[in-house]
Amino acid sequence: MPDFEQKILEYVTRPGYTPVREKSLLKKVGGSKSSSAEFEQAMHNLRVRKDILVSDTGLIRPVKKEDWIAGMIKKTSSGAGYLIPHHKPDDIAHDQRHAGDLYISERDLGDAQTGDEVYGTVINRRRSGGQLCGRVVEIIERASTTFVGTYFEAQGEGYVHVDGKIFNSPIHVGDPGAKGVSSEDKVVIDILQFPSKNYLGRGVISKVLGPHGKPGVDLLSIIYEFGIPLEFPEEVLEEAREQASLFDEKKLGNRRDLTKETIVTIDPVDARDFDDAISLSKNERGHWVLGVHIADVAHFVKEGSVLDREAKSRGTSVYLPGRVIPMLPEIISNGLASLQEGQVRFTKSAFIEFTPDGVPVHTEFANSAINVTQRFAYEQVMPLIDERDTEGENVSAHVRGLLKNMHHLAMTLRKRRFAAGSLELHLSEVRLTFDDQHRVTGAVEREHDESHQIIEEFMLAANISVAEAFNDRKLRFLRRVHPSPELPRQVAFAEFANALGFTLNKVQSRKDLQRIVEEVHGTPIEQAINYALLRSLKQAEYTDEELGHYALAVDHYCHFTSPIRRYPDLTIHRMIDDILERPDKGKGQSPQGLRQLGHELSLRERRAEAAERELTKVKLLSWMIDKNIKTLKTMITGVETFGLFCRGTDVPVEGLLHISRLGKHDYFHQDVAKFSIVGERTGQEFRVGDYLTVEVEKIDLDRRELDFRLPTSPKAAKPATEESPYQGKKSAKPPTKEKSNTKQKSRKPKSQRGKKKKKK
């Protein structure tokens, strides 16, 4: 065993060991910067052999006993739960019927909650279906100790119903009236004792958000629930102001002066920050030279500075319905680093040379300065290209020619990308609209036309070219990877498609998958097929490992194009600085902690996505209550033994139609092979992809649950959505400029995405 591996194991298994992170452990075992690569390799080997466990927050723990299993808890509404192992031992991994998860009864869970990392062990008991059972033996790390809920009083004591489904019982918070709280107020609590089968949970109120239902309280509830940092510390704001005072657009230094070049931006009509701009020309060889100019955030946010530490801790801007919580103070995100028309701005430029057929042959980087010639909204672009606009006098012939050339090259690149096996899903997305009280007034469907595809293709090309240039230099960097899906999931999707009448010849062929997607495009089952395919894919993430990008069908990919709103892009910009300053000496990012940084940034991204989903759900359910919506036209999106999941076709909200609500005079059972529920007496069948008009039976806003039932009369069968503000409206809000082609529901960048595609 290598020396570092032995030292690490000896240190983490000694009596009284307190978990530490990699940087601290390196010092504890006698390492230094010069030996960090060997230390990183030793850590990797130990993790692969399952000798150590690294938690989501980077704390390192030993795997204590051979029969202990580390994993995450997911509770059910019954109070029981499942242990989802981080690494499946053979006896669990071979239990294919239940995907290797351990069933944990309520009595064996202790006080473990959903999302907690725990150690568990298999016990000598099985469920009636043969599933292995287990017991939680130790909590490794709590998912959270801070929660949001609704305050109430009973028998002279204060209690809180925590939002969502994580707790089945209220949390006791002591004497009533603490911090001036009143019944039905939304509050933030810190848990002192987690609830279990035998004990009531105890907590303390840390903040009162305001009365339940008051405008803005639902937004604050989600922000605190997910632990999203809201206000910037004063020292961060002060450093941002200092950077603003130092900025002098006339002092270009050694930057390439592009201020006289024709450069344009294409963004949403209501965009506030502009982080990318485009130039395009032909060289003496007749090749295209695409310039992708990205705001040089690294110029203002120095590595290790207060600004940098804050940006790293946030990881990403958070795009919530009606509110953006930026990664950087607005003086930078909407000022210094915003590529505004007619303003000199500093940029990182990637110049990519393409043959007339769209084959990339060379990439060059430069620190540059630009002055955007003209800003366009997405809605303006195609009319200009097609020469059907009404404001031609505002756009010069030269700029018109540039737009036409951009469109031509982008469509060429797009065609080549799909020919190479790139995958793109068609998932419609609805943008909520609000009044001045942040209440939902309706929604519009976002469009995704060729004006959006122009920018999308150029951003993809830049990200791929930068990653390939780094890889050719044998640099270690933070990649954006999308691992290949697992074969069982692909087989399950093929069976699903077959049940709906579509044959998938090769389950692992991206081209066959894309063929299915195109075949169902515009048909009633389009969304069912696309969502099922989405669920079969893995999530994209950040790491230094060379895992490739499945959806894009490329080996090397990174995020370069949005450093205003994504910290990973900022790390790539700093590497470009290193390459420009020391072309022959750059070694890439330090191996120490790079993989952990990628893991942490992936978690921040998913937190932002989850917060957006939850607030959207809350807003929609509140709107349904306000408008007294009684019936909906839906599509069946999922079939389980206990019922059907149905998603509104006009109102984008999902609810459960319990099997007991399908009919009193029949017994219904699940037909797994056909992805349906069938009545034994009547033969009535409910299948994924079927449209179904349902009645709203119950809306539980705090638990974020929507229950349906079948209509009881012909009158009730008329869907309320016929007069819904969602019906038939569309918006030209674009998709994110840099989304991957199989959307997992990503955070919204400034560009307010349209047709969803999985984030790259």
Q: Report the C-alpha gap between 311 and 320 in whole angstroms.
A: 18
Query: Of 427, 455, 487, which one is at a domain's C-terminal end?
Result: 427
Amino acid at 120: G
Helix (H, G, I), strand (E, B) or coil at 310: helix
pLDDT at 714 over 60: no
Encode burial over 332-353: b for 16+ CB neighbours within 10 A, e otherwise: bbbbbbbbeeeebbbbbbbbbb
Residue 612 lies inside a defined structural domain of this protein: no
Residue 2 CB coordination number (10 Å)? 12
Q: Report the C-alpha gap between 170 and 656 in whole angstroms.
A: 24
Helix (H, G, I), strand (E, B) or coil at 210: strand
pLDDT at 293 over 80: yes
pLDDT at 551 over 60: yes
DSSP codes, 586-638:
--BS-STTHHHHHHHHHHHHHHHHHHHHHHHHHHHHHHHHHTT--EEEEEEEE
Bridge partners of residue 368, in order along the sequence: 256, 347
Confidence at residue 728, expressed as pLDDT on a 0 to 100 scale: 33
Amino acid at 448: H
39 and 100 inside one domain: no
Residue 464 lies inside a defined structural domain of this protein: no
Query: Of 427, 462, 482, which one is at a domain's C-terminal end?
Result: 427
| 584's tokens | 């022959």
Confidence at residue 316, expressed as pLDDT on a 0 to 100 scale: 97
Helix (H, G, I), strand (E, B) or coil at 99: coil
Confidence at residue 745, expressed as pLDDT on a 0 to 100 scale: 36
173 and 266 inside one domain: no
Confidence at residue 96, expressed as pLDDT on a 0 to 100 scale: 42
Q: For residue 374, give its domain range.
A: 255-427
76 and 54 inside one domain: no
Q: Report the C-alpha gap between 426 and 159 in whole angstroms.
A: 45
Handedness of CA 656, 662, 667, 669 (dihedral sign): negative
| pLDDT tens sequence across 656-711 | 999 999 887 888 988 887 888 999 888 899 988 888 999 999 999 999 999 999 98
Greatest alpha-carbon pair distance for the chain in Å reads 85
- With tokens 């048909």, the residue in question is 523
Angstrom distances, CA of residue 633 to CA of 203, 616, 688, 717, 719: 42, 19, 14, 9, 5
pLDDT at 216 over 80: yes
| 579's tokens | 């390459």
Q: Report the C-alpha gap between 753 and 426 in whole angstroms.
A: 12
Q: Provide the pLDDT confidence category of residue 326 given band limits of 50, 70 and 90.
A: very high
Task: Note whether 203 and 190 are within 8 A (CB).
Answer: yes
Encode burial over 117-152: b for 16+ CB neighbours within 10 A, e otherwise: bbbbbbeeeeeeeeebbbbbbebbbbeeebbbbbbb
Confidence at residue 387, expressed as pLDDT on a 0 to 100 scale: 86
Task: Note whether 120 and 83 are within 8 A (CB).
Answer: yes
394 and 290 inside one domain: yes
Return the CATH number at 177.
2.40.50.700
Query: Which candidate, 507, 506, 505, places its Cα nearest to that of 490?
Result: 507
Confidence at residue 747, expressed as pLDDT on a 0 to 100 scale: 36
Q: Report the C-alpha gap between 666 and 678 in whole angstroms.
A: 10
16 and 112 inside one domain: no
| 497's tokens | 């498609």
Residue 136 parent element (H or E): strand 132-141
| 394's tokens | 């505002």
Which of 269-283, 422-436, 471-485 is predicted least confidently? 422-436
47 and 91 inside one domain: no
331 and 387 inside one domain: yes
Q: Provide the pLDDT confidence category of residue 726 given band limits of 50, 70 and 90.
A: very low
Return the CATH number at 55.
1.10.10.10
Domain count for the chain, please give it.
Answer: 5
Helix (H, G, I), strand (E, B) or coil at 472: helix
Strands in 514-590 per DSSP E: 541-543
Residue 298 lies inside a defined structural domain of this protein: yes
pLDDT at 739 over 80: no
Angle between helices 510-519 and 526-536 (to 10 degrees): 160
Q: What is the mean pLDDT of residues 255-261?
A: 96
Q: Report the C-alpha gap between 511 and 509 in whole angstroms.
A: 5
Residue 560 lies inside a defined structural domain of this protein: no
Confidence at residue 743, expressed as pLDDT on a 0 to 100 scale: 37
Conformation bin of residue 593: beta by default, left when phi > 0, alpha when psi is -120 to 50: left
DSSP codes, 243-308:
HHHH--TT--TT-EEETTS--EEEE-TT-----EEEEEEE-TTS-EEEEEEEE-HHHHS-TTSHHH
Residue 717 lies inside a defined structural domain of this protein: yes
Q: Report the C-alpha gap between 400 and 650 in whole angstroms.
A: 38
Task: Note whether 166 and 140 are within 8 A (CB).
Answer: no
| pLDDT tens sequence across 463-504 | 999 999 999 999 999 999 999 998 988 998 998 888 888 888
Query: Of 427, 444, 470, which one is at a domain's C-terminal end?
Result: 427
261 and 376 inside one domain: yes
Q: Report the C-alpha gap between 351 and 330 in whole angstroms.
A: 29
* Beta strand 374-377 pairing with 264-267: parallel
Q: What is the pTM of this model?
A: 0.84
Residue 604 lies inside a defined structural domain of this protein: no
Q: Report the C-alpha gap between 543 and 522 in whole angstroms.
A: 36
Confidence at residue 697, expressed as pLDDT on a 0 to 100 scale: 95
Conformation bin of residue 236: beta by default, left when phi > 0, alpha when psi is -120 to 50: alpha
Q: Report the C-alpha gap between 545 and 346 in whole angstroms.
A: 31
Task: Note whether 188 and 148 are within 8 A (CB).
Answer: yes
Residue 628 CB coordination number (10 Å)? 8
Residue 178 lies inside a defined structural domain of this protein: yes
CA atoms within 13 A on the CB side of 349: 25
| 671's tokens | 């037909």
Confidence at residue 638, expressed as pLDDT on a 0 to 100 scale: 86
Bridge partners of residue 185, in order along the sequence: 211
Q: Report the C-alpha gap between 164 and 179 in whole angstroms.
A: 24
Q: Report the C-alpha gap between 125 and 134 in whole angstroms.
A: 8
| pLDDT tens sequence across 592-635 | 678 889 989 999 999 999 999 999 999 999 999 999 999 999 98
| pLDDT tens sequence across 356-389 | 999 999 999 999 999 999 999 999 999 999 888 7
CA dihedral of residues 198, 164, 226, 482 (deg, nearest 10): 110
Task: Note whether 579 and 32 are within 8 A (CB).
Answer: no
Amino acid at 627: K
CA atoms within 13 A on the CB side of 334: 11
Amino acid at 168: N
Confidence at residue 43, expressed as pLDDT on a 0 to 100 scale: 87
Which of 85-89, 320-324, 413-417 is predicted least confidently? 85-89
Average pLDDT over all residues of the chain: 86
375 and 269 inside one domain: yes
295 contacts: CB under 8 Å, gap ≥ 6: 274, 275, 276, 337, 338, 339, 345, 346, 347, 348, 563, 564
290 and 374 inside one domain: yes
Q: Report the C-alpha gap between 602 and 478 in whole angstroms.
A: 11
326 and 194 inside one domain: no
Residue 566 lies inside a defined structural domain of this protein: no
Return the CATH number at 715.
2.40.50.140
160 and 262 inside one domain: no
Query: Which candidate, 750, 748, 751, 754, places its Cα nearest to that of 731?
Result: 754
Residue 568 parent element (H or E): helix 567-581
